[in-house]
Chain A
């Protein structure tokens, strides 16, 4: 116990010393963190409050259906926390130098596991906790819940819920490493990706939101008490269901029926903690050794072979540009966490486009048409932001310890920066244009709107890439080898939230003119596209200003002392 307290103390001290510095730059950084995180929380609170109010009191979907939707959102949340923990825990629990150091000390393996698990959980779940708590506040405020509802729900419902997701993640990871030593890593990773995608698909296939809405609305308004039988049996074993059942019965003033769900959630968490502790005692050290051996005993390079990308071949590019492209290409494709993550994101994008293609909204109101366009447009923006956060933000950090080789060479650092921008820009803008073009066309079948969306997303993508590259330079972590950890750092969260604020501003600028445009089509039967030129110009000018500022930040950052 003494060792545990000492370690947690050291971690808390190093965190506090790193955060509570009193020089100008640190204070500015902390203040901007507070403003952006605070602003984001307030935004999420209002969105949650508005959505709850709208669905219950304007769309009249009833509490039963509302809580089933909440359950689905929590399922996605659970998977997000689970995947986030699994991805980050490999580097925290298995590749970290701190673990190597701790393994050489007389501390039990289960304690090292616990220390690193807590480290990992806070590192990968802090932003999601913020989102969860803000949603909870927004939701609870609609039902006028007392203060202890929030306290209890945050610490005894949401925290155990997230802990279950986190513990399951490390247990799965530990088992995977154990299995990988027998069947090989590549097959195992592919199988796991398929299993996770399958789990998401099966869940939504069985819960089927559209069918459920139709079934429930048949019996409107007497829906609340009677449709428990609609739940497929397996749903009752999922933690997201327990959370929503607890919420449902609590807001309906029936704690006797809420408490069993709290109890099962809490006991499951305790059971998992005990099980994880047993597993750690038995397998953590073995799997850690297996992971280290796998690193050391890596055989000859078996990665893909592309003659034209090999070093030492003549190219029409300047040698310095040619070698930068080749270096980044090979470092990307020889690092499984990079290409696997990209592949996964591409699959999700494909699912998004196919889903949009199958939507048939048949909306008659101009306002709803404008909202549906904006939702798809903003979702495209969100996807671009996610890709940029994962792949652009870490670009400068990925120079890593070997940055000395570039810094001491006669390559201008501005050129290096612009090379990175162009590389990211050419990939992401093309992807964004295809995505937005296809999805907007499938939804509205209006070429004019496709043009508007493509122009808009060009500006949005430019700003988002610039924000991520510039901020990625400012918050560069050259000592961190894992790009996933870089893109889940505090600086990355701050950047992502800033991008969300920027996207909200873009949506605000476009909403009214889009409404006018659809009103023209639906009511007056004439499409006045000129309504959209002004807002697009505003978005364009904002994009230039934001990009200019962020490139200034990035260029200064790349030239800082290394």
Chain B
């Protein structure tokens, strides 16, 4: 579960995130939307400890990310908008590296890699170096690494950008399956059809503030293809 309380980030006189309050329960697929420069990536960077908030707090699975960073970070996985890897390490080595940072034993990492190789179909390139990867390959390696330690929360920034249709389908199905198993997914994206297809709840932000919130259930898909029109109207 994720809880943001009066979350604020200022860069000098510019306020990027302006008092966000959010509570996302366990097992929810949460869509975080907004136009360019609305503060989505800044919010995510604060949630993952890459930025310190100017004020307010964020707790993930009961741990304050900035007061108890090690315990909070142990419980979530993160996929950034730009899937940077070490160019001189192979995908497998990168996954071992990430697993090690989470203090997983080498045997456990090996076993998890074998599972994820099948899930994301990364077997044919996992032993090549990062410098040889396309954007989509990087994306799949990063996504696999984020799931290595079986986090209860996954924070994901633009997960589908750069993926071919087959890989995109794999990722969507996996994420949906994970939420069914109880994982909370916090996803920021510009692809509204994905939001319509996957998200249980959306929030639209603009200028660092929440301007709209909507919930849809598995049985009643409320957006009915009208999310785009609504988004354009709200963010005009």
Whether a CB of chain A sits under 8 angstroms from the CB of B152 is no
Beta-carbon contact of B104 and A319 below 8 Å: yes
CB closest residue in chain A, given B72? A410
B80–A319 CB distance below 8 A: no
Q: Report yes or no: A311 in contact with B73, Cβ–Cβ below 8 A.
A: no
Partner of A561, one of B50, B89, B110, B145: B50
Residue in A330, A404, A409 whose beta carbon sits within 8 Å of that of B93 in the complex: A330
> Which residues in window 510-532 of A have CB below 8 A to B?
none
Q: Are B88 and A319 in contact (CB under 8 A)?
A: no
B192 within 8 A of A: no
Docked CA distance A406–B99 (Å): 11
- Give, as a whole number of angstroms, the nearest-CB distance from B8 to chain A: 14
Which residues of B in the span 70-125 have a Cβ within 8 Å of any Cβ on A?
70-71, 73-74, 78, 80, 82, 84-90, 92-94, 96-107, 109-110
Beta-carbon contact of B102 and A409 below 8 Å: yes
Asked whether any CB of chain B lies closer than 8 Å to the CB of A105, the reply is no
| B62 located at the interface, meaning its Cβ lies under 8 Å from any Cβ of chain A in the complex | no
Inter-chain contacts of A315 with B (CB < 8 A): 106
Q: Does B136 contact A (CB under 8 A)?
A: no
Interface residue total, chain A, C-beta cutoff 8 A? 38
Asked if residues A330 and B88 are in contact (CB atoms below 8 Å), the reply is yes
Residues 303-341 of chain A, each 1 if its beta carbon lies under 8 Å from chain B, else 0? 000000001111100111011101100110011000000
B39 shortest CB reach to chain A, Å: 14
Chain A residue with Cβ nearest B130: A402
Q: How far, in whole Å, are A409 and B70 apart by their CA atoms in the complex?
A: 8
**Which of A318, A410, A561 has its CB near the most chain B CB atoms (within 10 A)?**
A410
Contact indicator B104/A409 (Cβ below 8 Å): no
State how many residues of chain B have any CB contact under 8 Å with chain A: 44
Query: Which residue of A has the minimal Cβ distance to B103?
Result: A319
* Interface flag for B132 (CB, 8 Å): yes
Query: B52 near A: Cβ within 8 Å?
Result: yes
A548 within 8 A of B: no
- Is the beta-carbon distance between A410 and B74 smaller than 8 angstroms? yes
Residues of chain B with a CB closer than 8 A to A331's CB: 86, 88-89
Task: Decide if A144 is an interface residue (CB 8 Å cutoff).
Answer: no
Inter-chain contacts of A334 with B (CB < 8 A): 88, 129
Asked if A410 and B100 make an inter-chain contact with CB atoms under 8 angstroms apart, the answer reads no
A407–B109 contact, CB under 8 A?
A: no
Please indicate the chain B residues that have their CB under 8 angstroms from the CB of A327 in the complex. Answer: 86, 89, 93, 97
Do B100 and A322 touch across chains, with their CB atoms under 8 A apart? yes
Tell me if A319 and B99 are in contact (CB < 8 A). yes
**Residue on B nearest A413 in the bound complex, by CB:** B69
A311 and B96 in contact, given A320-B103, A404-B80, A407-B50 (Cβ under 8 angstroms): yes
20 more CB-based (< 8 A) A-B contacts, given A324-B100, A402-B84, A410-B73: A298-B129, A300-B128, A301-B90, A311-B96, A311-B106, A313-B106, A319-B105, A320-B101, A320-B103, A323-B97, A400-B86, A404-B78, A404-B80, A405-B94, A405-B145, A408-B49, A408-B50, A408-B78, A410-B101, A562-B45
Which chain B residues have a beta carbon within 8 Å of chain A's beta carbons? 12, 45, 48-52, 69-71, 73-74, 78, 80, 82, 84-90, 92-94, 96-107, 109-110, 128-129, 131-132, 145
